[in-house]
Chains A and B, each alone.
Chain A
Amino acid sequence: MADPRFLVIAPDVATADALLGVVPASACVDVVVLGVGSGDLDPATCALPADSIRAVPALAADADADVVGPALVELIRAAAVTVLDSSQPGRDLAGWLSATLDRPLVWAIDAIEVDGGILRADRVVLGGSHRLVHEVGVAAGVLVLAKPTLPASAQDRSRSAPADVTTLDVTAAAPRVRVLEASSDAAAGVPLNAARVVVSVGRGIGGADKVPLFRELAERVGAAVGASRVAVDSGWVPFAHQVGQTGTAVAPDLYVAFGISGAIQHLAGMRGSRSIIAINTDVEAPICRLADIVVKADAVEVAEGLLKRLG
C-alpha cells in the first residue's frame, strides 16, 4: 500500500511549521497557506519540511468554513490525512469537512503515527495526567485537528530538496456571514505560537482596564500576551491570545501567569513550558502545582513594580 499523503492547511507560515511538527517525519506532505500569494512568502518558507507549498491568496486566513471548504474540497478529498490547526476557523473547517466528506475527525492531537493503513493519534486528557490514543483507518480519509507542541523547524527534519512553492488560484464564494465593522484591535505584538516568553493574564488581574499594564510589560521584555478563557470570554483580551485547550498551546522557555488560577482547560495549553512563574494571592491555586516559582502577591502590584524597575 502506498504511503498515505498528508495535507496541512494553515492560516500562516508559523502555523504551518507548527502543524508539520505533528506530521510523521517521513510522510509525503503538501502544505496550503491561506491569505497569501507565493510572492509574499519569505524565501525561507521553502525550507519547511514539505513536498509542496501552495499559497492561496483568494482565501482569507479566517474565512468561514463554507467559503474555504468548497474551494479546497477536491484537494482535501485527494489527501489521506488532512491536518488543521485548532483555532476556531480551523475547527469550523474540520466540522464542515467531516460532515461534507463523511470523514472521521480526531482533535487536540499532538502526535501521529501511521502504520499499515491505520492512523494512531494521541491527545492529552484529564488535565495532563493521561494520554488518550485513537486508531482510525486512513483509506477513506481522516481529518486531524492538531495541538502542536514542537514546530517542525525545532526538530531535525531537514530535507534534501526545498519545497516547491506555487500560488493556487481558486474562486472564493461570497461569505454568507457579512462583516459590517472589522475589529480595530488586531492581535498586535509577538505571536503566541512563536514566543520564547509569554506573559499571560487571567481573572485575578481584576478587569479590562488593567490589561494595558500587562501589554506594556510584555512589550518591554519582548514577550507575547496570553490569556485565560475567562479573560477572553469577558472581552478583556481578543481570542487570538487565549492559551489552553481551546486556544493556542504554547511551550515557551518562560511562562508567567498573572492572576490565573489554572483551570484544566488552561493548563492543557501551557504545561509544556520549560519554566513557569505564577503570580497569585492563593498559593493553593491549581496552577501553583505546575509552577517553579509562585509569587504570593497581587498581580497588578507585581506588574506595576516590574514596570517601575524596568524604568
Chain B
Amino acid sequence: MDTDSLTIAVAIKHVPVGGAFLRAQDKGLTREGVSHGIDPLNEVAVEWALRAREAGMATKVIVVTLGPPSAVDALRRALAMGADEAVLVTDPAFVGADVRATARALAAVVQRVEADLLLTGYESLDGSSGAVPAAAAAILGWPLLSRFGDGQLDGGALRGSRDLGAGPTRVEVDLPAVVSFVEGHVPPRYPKLKDVMRTRNAEPTTLTAADLGIGPAANGERVIDLREVPMAPKEPTILDLEAGIEALLVRLTAEANHG
C-alpha cells in the first residue's frame, strides 16, 4: 500500500433529523414528509477524516452515500465541511436495500475509488441494525475496527481507542480497514457559510446498480404489518427534592430487601 497517497472513503446517510422520525403509513414506515439531513454520527467520521488529511496523513477524503437523489444534500453538507469528492449511488433497485445490498454497494464504491480506509458510524439513526460496517468489511476482506472513538494514522496502521462494552481499550490495526465511529470524541466542525454557498449546487459522481454490477439481495425480509401498541396515558406524581428523596428511599430499600 502506498501510504503517501492514502484515500479515505466515508459512508454517510441522509436520515430523518431534528426530533422528527419515520412516519407510520399504511402497514409500514415511510421517510416521506419527514425533514432530513446528514446523520450527525457521520459528521464525526467526516471530521476525523478531514483532520487526518489536514495532518498530512491522508491525501483525499471521498464521501459516499446510497439513497434517493435527494440524499445529495448529505453529500453537499460533507463537501461544505471539506470533503474532496462525493459519490451518490442511486437506483430504484436499491429502494429498501437491506444490510447485504447496502454493504455490497459501499464495498464496490470503495474498490472503485481505491480507498485504503472506509469510515462509517456504528449504526445509522434511522436503520440502526448496526451491522452494515461488518458486512462491508466481510465483503472487502478487511478487518473491522468497531466503535472507534479517536486515534491516529501512523504509516500503514491506525492506533486508537475503542469501547466494545468494558470501557476504552487501546487497539491497533493495519490498513486497509473499515472503522465504525461513536460520537463524543471528535466534535465535527460547522461548515462556513461561504463553503455552504460554494457547494450548494455541487454534483456528485452518480452511480447505478449496473455501474457497480450489483443488485438487490435474494430472499430478503419484507415488512408485512405495522400494529399500534395501545398505551394508557400516565399521569406521574410530581415530587420536590425532599419528598422525592423519601419516596426513592422507600422504593430502593424495599426492592433491595426483596432481592
A94 within 8 A of B: yes
B165 within 8 A of A: yes
B219 within 8 A of A: yes
A283 with B238, Cβ < 8 A, contacts A66-B138, A182-B169 known: yes
| B contact residues around A196 at 8 Å (CB) | 255, 258-259
Q: State how many angstroms separate the Cβ of B16 from the closest Cβ of chain A.
A: 11
A131 with B168, Cβ < 8 A, contacts A238-B163, A306-B252 known: no
| A contact residues around B194 at 8 Å (CB) | none
The residue from A93, A132, A179, A223 contacting B223, defined by CB atoms under 8 A apart: A132
A161 within 8 A of B: no
B201 within 8 A of A: no
The residue from B145, B164, B167 contacting A185, defined by CB atoms under 8 A apart: B167
Tell me the B210-240 residues at the A interface (CB within 8 Å): 217-229, 231, 233-234, 236-240
A298–B245 alpha-carbon span in the complex (Å): 11
A310–B249 alpha-carbon span in the complex (Å): 8
B205 within 8 A of A: no
> Which of A18-26, A48-56, A148-156, A284-292 forms contacts with chain B?
A284-292
| A contact residues around B123 at 8 Å (CB) | 91, 246
B18 within 8 A of A: no
| A contact residues around B166 at 8 Å (CB) | 62, 183, 185-187, 238, 240
A301 with B241, Cβ < 8 A, contacts A91-B134, A197-B255, A278-B236 known: yes
Tell me the A297-311 residues at the B interface (CB within 8 Å): 297-298, 301-302, 305-306, 309-310
| A contact residues around B145 at 8 Å (CB) | 177
A197–B255 alpha-carbon span in the complex (Å): 7
Question: Main secondary structure on chain B at its contact with chain A?
Answer: mixed
Tell me the A81-97 residues at the B interface (CB within 8 Å): 86-89, 91-96
| B contact residues around A96 at 8 Å (CB) | 134-135, 137-138, 144
Tell me the A259-311 residues at the B interface (CB within 8 Å): 264-265, 275, 277-279, 283, 288-298, 301-302, 305-306, 309-310
Instruction: Mark each residue of chain B from 162 to 179: 1 if its CB lies under 8 Å from any CB of chain A, else 0.
Output: 111111111111100100
A interface, CB within 8 angstroms of B: 62, 64-66, 69, 86-89, 91-96, 98-100, 102-108, 120-121, 124-137, 140, 142, 145, 176-187, 196-197, 221-223, 230, 232-235, 238-240, 245-246, 253-254, 256, 264-265, 275, 277-279, 283, 288-298, 301-302, 305-306, 309-310
B interface, CB within 8 angstroms of A: 21-22, 24, 28-29, 98-100, 103-104, 122-123, 128-139, 143-147, 149, 159, 162-174, 177, 182-185, 217-229, 231, 233-234, 236-241, 243-245, 247-249, 251-253, 255-256, 258-259
